[in-house]
Amino acid sequence: MTVSVLLVDDQPLLSLGFRLILEAQPDVTVVGEAGDGAQAVAMTRALRPAVVLMDVRMPVLDGIEATRLIVDSGSPARVLVLTTFDLDEYVYAALRAGASGFLLKDVPPADLVTAIHAVAGGHAVVAPAVTRRLIDAFLPHLPDPATGRSLADEALHRLTGREREVLELVGRGRSNTEIADALTLSEATVKAHVGRLLAKLRLRDRVQIVVFAYERGVIARGDRDGTA
């Protein structure tokens, strides 16, 4: 199946580079290019791409707000944010807005194509190791659970004990294989638990599970995994 992609970047040379990479693929089609967030929202509505490759810092409307508008509109398009590590705080905001993952702008072409297909298939593209580094960078910016919503809220109460264990391990950036080893479960069972977490917590993907775990205090400040 061919994946349709909308490119969103205010730097024409970067946009051209991504277009050349993607148009060389037999199963990817670039349906349009937008130079700012407002154009991205309008073109997503008009062109209905499967994936929106979204820059963060742009004129008129930034990529974070554009992502939120696209997700809130009910569009089936999946947003894949492009950024660099010095923009981590913007990436976090974008993930909260509903982005399905992120890539660095120096991503190898093969990895870019793989990520686009993964996102189009409904998966998140943030690798576990990258998730751990990302969360470490975000910890100073996260709300203190003591002043945020209670851990005894309705969403967490709906989880079983095993689902809470899986939630914590996903929050620490563990892969399904690592979770299966830690809990002595099959990978299929872990995948089933992750699916139930998404349904019960009304989240879009694995990335949002990580954000949820930190925001709700399931992973405490200073209580980091320590693995790379």
Res 207 pLDDT > 90: no
Clarify whether residues 115 and 143 are in a common domain: no
Q: What is the mean pLDDT of residues 220-226?
A: 47
The residue among 92, 125, 158 that closes a domain is 125
CATH value at residue 28? 3.40.50.2300
Does residue 64 share a domain with residue 158?
no
pLDDT of residue 226: 37
Number of domains in the chain: 2
On whether residue 134 sits in a domain, the answer given is: no
pLDDT attached to residue 42: 97
CATH of the domain at 211: 1.10.10.10
- Both 112 and 193 in one domain: the answer is no
Listed ranges 110-124, 128-142, 209-223; the one with the highest mean pLDDT? 110-124
Residues 147 and 41 in one domain: no
Task: Judge if 120 and 144 occupy the same domain.
Answer: no
Residue 162 lies in domain: 139-215
Question: What is the predicted pLDDT for the residue at 138?
Answer: 55
Please indicate, yes or no, whether residues 31 and 96 belong to a single structural domain of this protein. yes
Q: Are residues 102 and 54 in the same domain?
A: yes
pLDDT score, position 69:
96
Please indicate, yes or no, whether residues 117 and 54 belong to a single structural domain of this protein: yes
pLDDT in tens, 110-127: 888 988 998 898 777 764
3-state SS track over the chain: CCEEEEEECCCHHHHHHHHHHHHCCCCEEEEEEECCHHHHHHHHHHHCCCEEEECCCCCCCCHHHHHHHHHHCCCCCEEEEEECHHHHHHHHHHHHHCCCEEEECCCCHHHHHHHHHHHHCCCCCCCHHHHHHHHHHHHHHCCCCCCCCCCCCHHHHCCCHHHHHHHHHHHCCCCHHHHHHHHCCCHHHHHHHHHHHHHHHCCCCHHHHHHHHHHCCCCCCCCCCCCC
| 183-202: pLDDT as tens digits | 999 989 999 999 999 888 88
Q: What pLDDT score does 64 carry?
A: 92
- The pLDDT tens digits of the residues spanning 66-86 come to 999 999 999 999 999 887 655
pLDDT at 16: 92
Q: Specify whether 90 is located in the same domain as 147.
A: no
Domain check: are 147 and 187 in the same one? Answer: yes
Q: How confident is the model at residue 175 (pLDDT cuts 50, 70, 90)?
A: confident
Q: Which residues contact 98 (CB under 8 A, 6 or more apart)?
A: 67, 68, 70, 71, 72, 79, 204, 208
Single out the residue in 72, 97, 125 at which a domain terminates: 125
Query: Is residue 205 one of the residues assigned to a domain?
Result: yes
Does residue 133 lie in a domain region? no
Average pLDDT over the chain reads 81
Higher-confidence position of 25 and 155: 25
